[in-house]
Amino acid sequence: MRKHITYITPLILTALLLGAIQACRNQPTQRKHVLIILTNDSQHSQYPPFIKEIQQTIELSGYVTDCRVLYMDLEYSPDAAFNVLHQLNDTLSKAQWKPDVIITEDDRSARILLADTSDKFLNVKRTPIVLGSISFPEEINLKGTTNICMWTNKIDFYENIKLAYELSGKNQVQIELDNYIYDVLIRRELNEAISRPPFVRNFDGALGVISDQQLAGKYKDSIVVTTQRIDYGWYDTRNPNDTILRRRELMRSFFKQSSKYPSLVVKKDVYCDAIANKSNLPQYTAITTDFADGMGSYLAGYFASYSTIAHDCGLSTARIFNGANPRSIGGQAHKKYFWMDYDAMQKMGMKYDDYIDKFRIVNAPFEIEHPTLYVVLVVAAILLILLILFGLWVIFVRMRGRLQEEKLEVIGRSRNISRLCLNSIENMPIETVDDIKKYISLAHPKSKKEIEKVRDSLDKPGSYSFLIYCAPKDDDKYQWWEFRYDITSSDVIGLIINKQEAIKLKERLDSATRNSREASRKEAFFNNLSNEMKKPLDVMCNACDRLINEKLSKAEREKVVTEMQESSEAVSQSLGDILLFSKIESGRLRYMITEKDAGEFLTGFYNEMAPKVPSHLNFVLVSGRSRVYAQADFDRLRNVMTQFMLNAIKFTREGSIEIGWRYYLDSHECEFFVEDTGIGIPAEAKDRLFDLFWKGEETSEGVGVGLNICRSLAEAMQGHISVGSIVGRGSRFSIWLPARALSQNQELPEQQGTTKIL
């Protein structure tokens, strides 16, 4: 045994030492300054993840980065680029911040940087520079430089034009170009890429407008590439209006053609954005800029993504920090992939499964990308909910049993109290008026009003009964006594009866009765809650069983999931009512009373409820006076209005449901109402509507606390609730709250919310 330990101990120590060395190597030990120069403005949606990817890639190599970002905004302010760069240089000079590496992400920002003559802090002749996503490397002169690493990203016109042709089924592809230097370079590359069949060049409309008949006939085996020159740089100083009209006409022509034939974006500028936004069909793009913009403007393309560009630039920067010569790690090309946007696919009615083998599809929902995992997660969530509900069910059953035991105990105490009441009566006689005067002289001051009534009765014949707190035995032992006597013209007869024990027993009996009623109400509540939770629980159990054990079609599976969602919402509604009721009962509910436009609130509430109203019912918003400001906790007001709406939906089989508001000038109140054409409420049931745990029908859904909660919330907000109903014609539920109306030129003063605790 010792021999084995002798061999094992050095191995363990060696492993620990190597692990410590590796851990130290993986810990960021150096802070590096990285300047990232970006071509477009800071609103570009893809820049934040691009910058984050660069930082993470560098830091994984063991360096802490202090990144600063310069947005050149070359799309809208190209002439100001050098000024921006010099301002940055001055700023860095004042801050004594020198970049260890400069990274760019486009030809334009690279050309501006390398053409700059600043040499104090940027020092472009000596500072290592990583040029990312360079489309025209031959235009960048690297002779005599050793501090520049360049990643190329040449546009693949062949693959992108062919892709637009294959996906659209149209054999004419449009490309917008103008006369800037960048466009001239693109035109040159495009001309070389499509110089052979099946491509036909129609640059700047040299072949004229090609008709559909020509495309189907003369050019049926070709792909016509039409470039449209929108001459942004040309300007007629003598006739500026002609310039504007010419540009507008060119744009209209391109918009018209883009609705028929696919357009391919090969650069980012104002016109490309306008074409993508105004075309009724998603366009195609050969560059990563603006792809997957969240609006489905671009369908597909073949290019290197921002993530790939950032990763490559980050790795090159890390290698430079590790001592590599920038020139020795340059000259590589970013990896390109076929990309497709799910949002654009939805516009085109395309199916995800038909394209996933060739394309990397972005923006697809989780359930589309991972259908099996999604079903597993849904089933797991359902099982978890069922487990929770089962635990609640067990708790409720046990609590109901305890309540039944408490009820029997209360009934037993009530019987004992009733028996004691028969054995605790003490009497004293009244034979003269002097007896009455004697006894009331020994009364406690708290019975002063009753004593005055007794004195007033002494000269008036009749039968009297008064309850007085006194000590008739002259022993200073005050108790409650009932004075019961008859006065005639000749004599007085009566007695005083000790009511102290009787009153105590009555209070105990009343308390026992209240406890008994409370126990009964709680038992009814838990019965209701158990039944209401059992129904959706059964539905979810059956649905889960079908999902797990049956082979269902997509439509059947969606129906089962819908049933489970509806049942889960029913359970959630019941539990939400109980939690809110519990907070109200315990006095823990806080109210934030604020002032808000009634129309604005109810319009928002109408939009929230519209999807929940059955399609066969007419859902109407009835607008009241404008600029009416109600005073309420609007989250609690939403609880009340939601309860009114749920009742209206439940009891309205046909017709309509109206919601709205009315302002009453005489009382300075605003009425928020929900009116339906449902079954109505019988007159005998109106008095019990707001009783706790009461339901109109045993078969009706709910636990019987909703309207009681509504009344409590309304009263806490200094308001009240009213109900109007006609059986067979409908009901109107209203909550009235303090409010005020402002004139059109009157401003609403700013008010702070106030918290009120019940």
Looking at residue 674, its pLDDT comes to 96
State residue 748's pLDDT score: 64
For residue 101, name the pLDDT band (cuts at 50, 70, 90). Answer: very high
Both 475 and 525 in one domain: the answer is no
C-beta of residue 197 within 8 angstroms of C-beta of residue 145: no
Verify that 595 and 680 share a domain, yes or no.
Answer: yes
Contacts of 516 (CB under 8 A, 6+ apart): 407, 410, 411, 414
Domain count, the chain: 4
My answer on whether 671 and 639 are in the same domain is yes
3-state secondary structure of 175: strand
pTM exceeds cut of 0.75: no
Which pLDDT score, from 0 to 100, does residue 1 have?
40
How far apart are alpha carbons 549 and 554 in whole angstroms? 15
**Residue at which a domain ends, from 581, 607, 622:** 581
**How many alpha carbons fall within 13 Å on the CB side of residue 128?**
24
Of 14-28, 537-551, 640-654, highest mean pLDDT: 640-654
**383 and 517 assigned to the same domain:** yes
Confidence of residue 749 (pLDDT cuts 50, 70, 90): low
Q: Residue 103: which of 94, 113, 88, 93 has the closest Cα? A: 113
pLDDT, tens digit (0-9, with 9 covering 90-100), for 500-519: 777 777 777 777 677 666 66
pLDDT of the residue at 320: 92
Residues 572 and 605 both lie in one domain: no
Residues 176 and 280 grouped into a single domain: yes
Examine the fold and report which residue of 581, 607, 640 is the final residue of a domain before the chain moves on.
581
105 part of a folded domain: no
Residue 628 lies in a domain: yes
pLDDT tens-digit map of 387-438: 888 888 888 888 887 877 776 665 555 444 444 443 445 677 887 888 888 8
Q: What is the pLDDT of residue 435?
A: 84
Across the range 626-644, mean pLDDT stands at 92
Question: How high is the pLDDT of residue 690?
Answer: 75
- Would you tell me how many other CB atoms lie within 10 Å of the CB of residue 443? 20
What is the SS3 assignment for 24? helix
Q: Residue 407's pLDDT is what?
A: 66
The closest alpha carbon to 444, from 468, 409, 410, 420, belongs to: 468
Residues 605, 710: one domain? yes
pLDDT digits (tens, 9 = 90+) for 320-345: 999 999 888 877 899 999 999 999 99
pLDDT band at 754 (very low <50, low <70, confident <90, very high): very low
175-202 pLDDT, tens digit per residue, is 888 777 788 888 888 988 888 889 988 8
The rounded distance, in Å, linking the Cα atoms of 506 and 502 is 6
Q: Would 387 be classed as within a structural domain?
A: yes
Residues 398 and 461 in one domain: no
Per-residue pLDDT, 77: 64
Place of tokens 């838990």: 526
> What pLDDT, on the 0 to 100 scale, is given for residue 609?
92
- Is residue 15 in some structural domain? no
In a domain, 530, yes or no: yes
In this structure, the answer to whether residues 409 and 458 fall within a common structural domain is no
Whether the predicted pLDDT of 624 surpasses 70: yes
Contact 393, 533 (CB under 8 A): yes
For 580-601, write each residue's pLDDT tens digit. 666 776 667 788 999 999 999 9
In a domain, 98, yes or no: no
- Domain shared by 168 and 247, yes or no: yes
392: Cβ–Cβ under 8 A, 6 or more apart, which residues?
Answer: 533
Range of the domain at 643: 589-757
Please list, residue by residue across 20-59, b when 16 or more beta carbons sit within 10 angstroms of its beta carbon and e when fewer do: eeeeeeeeeeeebbbbbbbbbeeebebbeebbebbbebbe
The rounded distance, in Å, linking the Cα atoms of 657 and 645 is: 8
- Claim to verify: residue 568 and residue 702 sit in the same structural domain: no
Q: Looking at the chain, how many residues does it have?
A: 758
Question: CATH no. for residue 626?
Answer: 3.30.565.10
User: For residue 171, which of 119, 132, 235, 225 has the smallest C-alpha distance?
Assistant: 225
382 closest CA partner among 534, 529, 531, 537: 537
Q: What is the 3-state secondary structure (H, E, C) of 74-93?
A: CCCCHHHHHHHHHHHHHHHH
Please say which residue of 515, 549, 581 terminates a domain: 581
Please check whether residue 28 lies inside any domain of the structure: no
Residue 618, pLDDT score: 94
Residues 659 and 724 both lie in one domain = yes
Asked if the structure places residue 664 within a domain, the reply is yes
Burial bucket for residue 202 (CB in 10 Å: 0-12, 13-18, 19+): buried
233-262 pLDDT tens trace = 444 445 555 555 555 666 666 666 667 888
